[in-house]
Structures are given as structure tokens and as C-alpha cells.
């Protein structure tokens, strides 16, 4: 391998991508946490080229240009107008660097699977042979629409024939041109100046540069890719899905080599920006997106989707959806929980089944076991929120905050109407609608008095199964009976178990 720094990298990203049938530019379709073009730029960046030029064009030009300005602000955007083929695109870029000397690496923006190692191998071969051009080839089991590499009896490259221009015999060749080249800058400029559009598409092909150099007896070297799958381009949705699966397999294999247990790699998906520590376990049907981080000993899955979420050491997340959340060490989440942005669960805390949280700070060892909505809230440590509790945070115009103190107990079926404060160690009786603050150590009871009307079902629902059951149970009477007053010594909590 070489440490040679290319003078320039030209990324050809002006293709229209008509086969994608999309309003989004082809090179901006996403897979595994990056756009196609983003994957290419990521592979190129470690090469530390002196200049990086991205060729854009067509209706998608503004969209691609905005992406480049944000993702690679040091790169230069070159506009190809009109689009007349890959050779014309390369010439447009070369004209922007009229005095460039050294090695120029050329590749396409819709080839997301290339690695830095493979690109470095091409540069190393180019430097070793001192060639005018070095091309990366691949031997494919099914070459499809790729251009075929032709060689002489001694194995030297003689040219590249585009599939649409190839003869039946040439279509039997399974060595293809990958679209990755290392050129001497001066040789590239001279060859591009001589290109003509004499082909089926009436376009200028970059592959014709190779034939021109061979005809002039210049040295043309080649490197065969170790894995042909790395060279695949994306032209339609099916090819995008294939590339995504290959990238998924690559990412999952990397993390298993780093000490992560993945119980079912084929149903585990993650992006390139996910970070995992050793001894993490991922179960089947788990998806990890964005900048998700999972600490050592944590268990995630089955059936989880985590985006931009941090999972602490030895925590567990089961059958849940989490976005922009932080889950503390030894905490547990799920099943069937939805943690929305701004959720922070403290160490040892619990968010249980059918719980939704949003912009909620939940303290260590606090339990929100089931059937609860916690929005715009701060809950202290060691608190318990009973089943069916709703933090009523929205008045139709504004969001309001609720604070629950350390070791507070909120009984099941309660409504905490924000803005509200439940003090440390305070209790809220089950079934309460809390519209006033509850001081520390107090109990808040917000219930209407129950009325019981005897015989109502027999009179008002006669002929129903309910009436039949009531009559069989000996129901009678028409009087209305108030419930007896509750003694101050009664326990009003009736909360769910922690």
C-alpha cells in the first residue's frame, strides 16, 4: 500500500437517476445512515486529496449542491450542463483544474460500497507502475449492464466496451469496469480533449480514454477488486436494496468482531454512525439508527427501533421504539414503550408496557410501570407512577410542565393537570384529577363523590344480558344510594404494584 496523496478526486454525481423514479436525486437516496454520495465521500476522505471536485447537473443540481456544501464544505462543486456522458463530466471537472499535476482519482457518486482500502490499492498500483491510467476492475458472476474489459493475449488491458455497444462475444466477458480510475493529470487532460460521441448514446464515454491511451502506447495498469460486490453501483430501487443489505452485513460483521452478540444478523440493521461497546447483546428485529450508542452489557431487542438514543451499561430495552432518548445504566424499558425526544431515564429506573414519554426527566430507581403518558415532566428518584396516569401537559395552545418529587407515589388512573408540582414523598390518591399542587408529605385527593343507583339496569336496560345477570344475582330496588364517606384511615392509593 501507499501513502501517496492524490492531487485530486473527481466524483461524478450528475446522473439523472431516471430508473429510481424519484423526486430525490439518485445520489441522495439513503442507506445505513448516509446518502449514496455520503458513503463515497466517507471512503475518499481518509485519502486526504488536495482537491475534491463533485460534478453535478440536471434538475437535481441544487439539491445535490446543497448536500455537498453541508456534508463536504471543502469540496468544490462543478456543474455539468448539458449532461453528455461520463467523459464530458470528467472533462468539465478537469477544466476547473487546468494546472493540476499528479494523480487524479475518478469515481462515481452512486457506488456506496467502496472502501478506503480498495481505493488505496488502486493508487498504490498506479504509483508502482507509473502508468498513465490505472483502472479498477471486477469479475462478476453476472456482468449485467456494466462495461466489459477487453485484454490482449498477454493479459494487458486494451479497452472497455459499454454493454450497449458490445458484440455478443464481448458480452460473454465477465470482467467489468468499475468506474474507478487513477490517472496522470496531464494524460487525462490530453485524452479527454480527444473524446468524441461516436456511440449508441451519442455521449462522451470516460471508458474511451482507456482505449485512446492504449492506442498511443501509454501504460494502462489494472487492479482486480478482491470482492466484486464492493463495486456495485445503484441505478434503481432493487439495486439500492441489494447495496443496503451488503452494507448491513458489513456493519454487523464489524461489531460482532468487536465483541457484540447479534443473535440474528439477518434481521438486525444499523447505520454507520451507531456505536456499540463489547458485551452488548442485540436480539432479532432490532434497528439502530442515527447516533445511537449502546454501552457494555446492555441488551436490546427483540423488536426494537432506536434512533439517536443512548442505552446505558447493563440496561434492557424490549419491543420498544425510542427516539432521542437516554436510558440509564441498569434501567429497563418495555415491552411496547415509546420514548420520544427529550426522555431521560435514570439509573435503575423502569419504563414498562404501553408507556409513552416525551421531554421527561425520570430519576434513578423511579418506576413508570404501565399504561401511562409522561410529557413535559421532571420526576425525582425512587418515585412510583401508577398505571393509567396521564401528565396533562397541553392546554390546546401551550405545553406546561409537571414536577414530581423524590419518592412520591401517584396512584393509578390519575390526571396531573399541568403546570403542577407534587412534592417529595407526597401521595396522589388513585383516580384523582390533580389541579392543585400537593406539598411534600401530603396526599392529594381529587375525586367526585360516587353515586350508586340501585335497580338502574333492571329498569333502563331491561331484556339485555346485563339485566338477566343482575336479576340472577338477586338485584332489586330503585333507590339511589350514596357511597359511605371514606374514613381518614382508609388507604386511598389503590395504585398499581411497582
Catalytically annotated residue among 29, 39, 283, 370: 370
CA-to-CA distance for 161 and 205, rounded, in angstroms? Answer: 10
Distance CA 356, CA 390 (A): 10
Q: To 10 degrees, what angle do helices 86-95 and 185-193 make?
A: 120
- What is the per-residue burial (b if ≥16 Cβ within 10 Å, else e) of 41-71? bbbbeebebebbbbbbbbebbeebbebbeee
Return the H-helix or E-strand segment holding 468: helix 465-472
How remote is the C-alpha of 177 from its chain's centroid?
31
Chain-centroid distance of CA 16 in Å reads 25
Residue 90 · residue 207 · CB < 8 Å: no
C-alpha cell of residue 265: 444478523
**Phi, psi dihedrals of residue 52, rounded to the nearest 5°:** -125, 125
144: which residues sit within 8 A by CB, 6+ positions away? 163
Peptide bond into 475 cis (omega under 30): no
DSSP 420-460: EEE-TT-EE-TT-EE-S-B-TT-EE---PPPEEETTHHHHH
Q: How many CB atoms lie within 10 A of CB 7?
A: 17
In a 3-state reduction of DSSP, which class is residue 79? strand
Query: Quick check: bond before 229 cis, omega within 30?
Result: no
Q: Active-site residue 198, yes or no?
A: no
DSSP-H helix ranges across 2-157: 36-44, 61-71, 86-95, 116-129
Q: Point out the residues that are catalytic.
A: 370
Amino acid at each position: 500500500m501507499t501513502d501517496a496523496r492524490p492531487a485530486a478526486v473527481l466524483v461524478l454525481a450528475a446522473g439523472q437517476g431516471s430508473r429510481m423514479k424519484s423526486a430525490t436525486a439518485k445520489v441522495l437516496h439513503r442507506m445505513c445512515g448516509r446518502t449514496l454520495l455520503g458513503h463515497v465521500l466517507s471512503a475518499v476522505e481518509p485519502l486526504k486529496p488536495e482537491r475534491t471536485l463533485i460534478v453535478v447537473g440536471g434538475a437535481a443540481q441544487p439539491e445535490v449542491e446543497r448536500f455537498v456544501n453541508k456534508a463536504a464544505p471543502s469540496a468544490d462543486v462543478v456543474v455539468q450542463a448539458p449532461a453528455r456522458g461520463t467523459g464530458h463530466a470528467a472533462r468539465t471537472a478537469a477544466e476547473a483544474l487546468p494546472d493540476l499535476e499528479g494523480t487524479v482519482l475518478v469515481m462515481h457518486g452512486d457506488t456506496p460500497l467502496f472502501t478506503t482500502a480498495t481505493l488505496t490499492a488502486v493508487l498504490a498500483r498506479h504509483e508502482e507502475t507509473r502508468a498513465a491510467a490505472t483502472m479498477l476492475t471486477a469479475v462478476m458472476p453476472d456482468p449485467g449492464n456494466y462495461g466489459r474489459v477487453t485484454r490482449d493475449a498477454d493479459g494487458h488491458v486494451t479497452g472497455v466496451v459499454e454493454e450497449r455497444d458490445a458484440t455478443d462475444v464481448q458480452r460473454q466477458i465477465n470482467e467489468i469496469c468499475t468506474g474507478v480510475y487513477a490517472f496522470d493529470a496531464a494524460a487525462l487532460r490530453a485524452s479527454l480533449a480527444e473524446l468524441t460521441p461516436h456511440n449508441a448514446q451519442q455521449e462522451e464515454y470516460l471508458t474511451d480514454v482507456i482505449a485512446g491511451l492504449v492506442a498511443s502506447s501509454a501504460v494502462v495498469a489494472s487492479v482486480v477488486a478482491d470482492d466484486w460486490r464492493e463495486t456495485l453501483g445503484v441505478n434503481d430501487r432493487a439495486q439500492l436494496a441489494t447495496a443496503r443489505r451488503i452494507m448491513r452485513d458489513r456493519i454487523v460483521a464489524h461489531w460482532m468482531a468487536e465483541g457484540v452478540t447479534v443473535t440474528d444478523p439477518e434481521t438486525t440493521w444499523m447505520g454507520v454512525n451507531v456505536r456499540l461497546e463489547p458485551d452488548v447483546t442485540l436480539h432479532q428485529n432490532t434497528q439502530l439508527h442515527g447516533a445511537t450508542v449502546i454501552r457494555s452489557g446492555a441488551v436490546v431487542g427483540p423488536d426494537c427501533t432506536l434512533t439517536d438514543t443512548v442505552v446505558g451499561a447493563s440496561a434492557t430495552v424490549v419491543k420498544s421504539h425510542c427516539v432521542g432518548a437516554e436510558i440509564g445504566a441498569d434501567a429497563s424499558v418495555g415491552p411496547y414503550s415509546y420514548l420520544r425526544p427529550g426522555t431521560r431515564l435514570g439509573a435503575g429506573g423502569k419504563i414498562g408496557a404501553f408507556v409513552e414519554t416525551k421531554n421527561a426527566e425520570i430519576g434513578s430507581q423511579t418506576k413508570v410501570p404501565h399504561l401511562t403518558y409522561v410529557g413535559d415532566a421532571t420526576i425525582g428518584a425512587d418515585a412510583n407512577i401508577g398505571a393509567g396516569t396521564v401528565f396533562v401537559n397541553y392546554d390546546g395552545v401551550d405545553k406546561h410542565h409537571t414536577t414530581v418529587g423524590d419518592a412520591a407515589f401517584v396512584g393509578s388512573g390519575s390526571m396531573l393537570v399541568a403546570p403542577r408540582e407534587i412534592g417529595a414523598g407526597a401521595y396522589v390518591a388513585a383516580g384523582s384529577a390533580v389541579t392543585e399542587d400537593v406539598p411534600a408529605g401530603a396526599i392529594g385527593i381529587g375525586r367526585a363523590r360516587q353515586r350508586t343507583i340501585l335497580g338502574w339496569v333492571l329498569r333502563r336496560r331491561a331484556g339485555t344480558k346485563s339485566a338477566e345477570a343482575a336479576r340472577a344475582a338477586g338485584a332489586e330496588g330503585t333507590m339511589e344510594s350514596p357511597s359511605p364517606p371514606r374514613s381518614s384511615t382508609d388507604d386511598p392509593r389503590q395504585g398499581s404494584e411497582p
